[in-house]
């Protein structure tokens, strides 16, 4: 394993202590300066269907007077499959009346044998009362309550998008992980335990998570569930109170790094992994990990970060000792470790060994695809601006993504597409390549 730029450990430990102290003092001072009326208190109640078909994707619900002269429009913006159903947009007679409390089920409330994972996504937009004109909220906090399970095979999870920071209890039972979309961290996923907790109790902070937002006219969130086997408890209620709470021993976390790009390319038959960070907060180092089977990873390099930075930082590593891989595919991921030893993982990047760099043929696989479609592009398209677009057989565009610095193999989420035949079209500069694939259930 290669280690680069390793500083004196005593100095590093001292610096880390100073950074941590400064970091938490900054948070404390900031909290004092934020008016409490801005930081909490949005009220979600008395909702009604505003447009669309109730329970279906694109249905819009209006929550009047979430704060003075402001309404909230809540849209169902996506779901993992047609088996995910909205049972109720808001349950007023349980939990807390002022919370946003949707009830979401999967497969008619019964998870099948095997591992299942599902979600429904909501987009919330704040608007001037009785209008559709967006209005910014200076600051607000969203707290997830009662993030638990059924005491058997199911646990709940939620995801918050584009938040500034989040808070968990020091002895939390909730795990936090980053969600990636095309090489960028866009959300944090909070997964609760399988343990069941009776009722919804704001004093049970070990199964709570709070996310903090600044100066936005809306947000996205997901309600999800995970099962490890057959269970009749796949009908779940969620409680989001737009209010901050006092934790017994709170730990506030900011994303230690915002990646502008993370790519893997094949250069002279050697994998070259590179990434650019646009923000680094209290970040210690990166660990580059490699796998030849997609499940077992080993460290191959450690690259130390600048600690704190708000400008673009470039990193790279050439893998000169690639072992034999299953089907010729090598997997790479980043482990990003902050000064407090907490770590998050990047999405996985892939390299297909032995690929020709001259052909204009793309390779889309697996085919049929269920949740994810991987596209390997020609070598001379790598590190360029590449557009990926999926079309139905009748020519309708159903998914479109752009990557400014394309890697050799990119992945596209196709879990929301209905089963059938599709065409993936990839464009780089003036060159176009297409391939047909099948989306399976």
Q: Residues 231, 338: one domain?
A: no
Domain membership of residue 212 (yes or no) is yes
Q: Splitting the chain (441 residues) into consecutive groups of 10 residues, what average pLDDT does each group show?
A: 43 43 38 35 95 95 96 94 94 91 96 91 96 94 96 95 90 85 71 93 94 92 95 96 91 71 84 85 88 87 83 89 79 86 79 61 85 86 88 83 84 85 88 86 73
**Does 260 lie in the same domain as 239?**
no
Q: Which of 352, 382, 412 is the last residue of a domain?
A: 352
Return all residues near 359 (Cβ < 8 A) that are at least 6 apart.
Answer: 378
The answer on 283 and 320 residing in a single domain is: yes
Q: Do residue 332 and residue 386 come from a single domain?
A: no
Domain that holds residue 392: 363-439
Same-domain check for residues 171 and 280: no
Which residue in this structure is represented by tokens 């890697």? 407
Chosen domain end from 329, 352, 375:
352
Domain count, the chain: 3
Q: For residue 358, tell me if it sits in a domain.
A: no
Do 128 and 177 sit in the same domain of this protein? yes
CB 119 within 8 A of CB 234: no
DSSP state of 342: -
Is residue 31 in some structural domain? Answer: no
270 shares a domain with 248: no
DSSP-H helix ranges across 8-150:
9-33, 36-39
| pLDDT recorded at residue 398 | 87
Q: Exposed (0-12), middle (13-18) or buried (19+): which is 325, by Cβ within 10 Å?
A: middle
Within-domain flag for 434: yes
Q: Are residues 324 and 431 in the same domain?
A: no
DSSP 293: S
In a domain, 30, yes or no: no
- Give the integer Cα–Cα distance in Å for 219 and 237: 20
CA angle, 18 then 20 then 22, to 5°: 70
What secondary structure does DSSP assign to 231-242, as a single string? BS--EEE-EEES
Identify the bridge partners of residue 170 per DSSP, sorted by sequence position: none
Burial 96-124 (b: 16+ CB within 10 A, else e): bebbbbbbbbbbeeebeeeebebbbbbbb
- 343 in the same domain as 420: no
Domain assignment of residue 32, yes or no: no
Q: Indicate whether 113 and 226 sit together in one domain.
A: yes
In CATH, what number is assigned to the domain containing residue 19? Answer: 2.60.40.10
Where among 210, 232, 253 does a domain terminate?
Answer: 253
**CATH code at position 425:** 2.60.40.1930
Q: Is residue 264 part of a domain?
A: yes
Q: What is the per-residue pLDDT for 343?
A: 76
Q: Residues 49, 131: one domain?
A: yes
From its phi and psi, is residue 19 left (phi > 0), alpha (psi between -120 and 50) or beta? alpha
- Whether residues 399 and 305 share a domain: the answer is no
Residue 261, judged by CB atoms within 10 A of its CB (0-12, 13-18, 19+), counts as: buried
- List, in sequence order, every beta strand (DSSP E) within 129-228: 137-145, 154-161, 165-169, 175-181, 184-191, 209-216, 218-227
CB within 8 A of 113, min separation 6: which ones? 229, 230
Domain-located, residue 421: yes
């Amino acid at each position: 394993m290669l280690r680069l730029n390793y500083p004196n450990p005593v100095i590093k430990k001292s610096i880390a202590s100073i950074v941590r102290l400064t970091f938490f003092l900054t948070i404390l001072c900031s909290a004092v300066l934020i008016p409490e009326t801005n930081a909490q208190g949005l009220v979600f109640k008395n909702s009604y269907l505003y447009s669309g078909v109730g329970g279906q994707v694109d249905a819009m619900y209006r929550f009047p007077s979430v704060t003075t002269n402001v309404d909230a429009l809540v849209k169902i913006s996506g779901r993992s499959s047609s088996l995910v159903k909205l049972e109720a947009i808001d349950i007023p007679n349980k939990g807390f009346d002022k919370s946003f409390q949707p009830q979401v089920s999967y497969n008619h409330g019964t998870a099948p044998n095997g591992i299942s994972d599902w979600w429904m996504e909501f987009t919330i937009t704040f608007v001037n009362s009785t209008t559709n004109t967006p209005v910014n909220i200076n600051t607000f906090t969203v707290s997830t309550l009662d993030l638990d399970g059924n005491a058997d095979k199911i646990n709940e999870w939620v995801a918050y998008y584009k938040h500034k920071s989040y808070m968990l209890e020091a002895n939390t039972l909730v795990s936090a992980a980053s969600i990636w979309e095309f090489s960028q961290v866009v959300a944090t996923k909070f997964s609760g335990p399988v343990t069941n907790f009776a009722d919804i109790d704001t004093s049970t902070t070990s199964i709570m998570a709070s996310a903090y937002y600044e100066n936005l006219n809306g947000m996205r969130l997901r309600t999800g569930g995970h099962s490890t086997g057959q269970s009749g408890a796949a009908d779940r209620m969620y409680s989001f109170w737009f209010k901050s709470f006092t934790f017994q021993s709170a730990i506030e976390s900011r994303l230690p790094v915002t990646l502008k790009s993370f790519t893997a390319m094949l250069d002279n038959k050697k994998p070259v992994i590179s990434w650019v960070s646009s923000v680094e907060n209290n970040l210690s180092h990166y660990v580059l990990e490699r796998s030849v089977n997609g499940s077992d990873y080993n460290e191959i390099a450690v690259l130390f970060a600048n600690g704190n930075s708000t400008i673009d930082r470039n990193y790279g590593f050439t893998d000169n000792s690639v072992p034999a891989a299953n089907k010729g595919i090598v997997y790479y991921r980043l482990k990003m470790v902050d000064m407090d030893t907490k770590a998050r993982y990047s999405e996985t990047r892939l390299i297909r060994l032995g690929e020709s760099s001259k052909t204009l043929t793309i390779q889309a696989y697996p085919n049929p695809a269920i949740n994810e479609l991987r596209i390997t592009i020609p070598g001379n398209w790598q590190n360029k601006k590449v557009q990926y677009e999926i079309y139905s057989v009748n020519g309708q565009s159903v998914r479109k993504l752009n990557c400014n610095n394309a890697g050799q193999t990119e992945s596209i989420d196709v879990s929301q597409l209905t089963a059938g035949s599709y065409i993936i079209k990839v464009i780089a500069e003036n060159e176009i390549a297409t391939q047909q694939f099948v989306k399976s259930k």
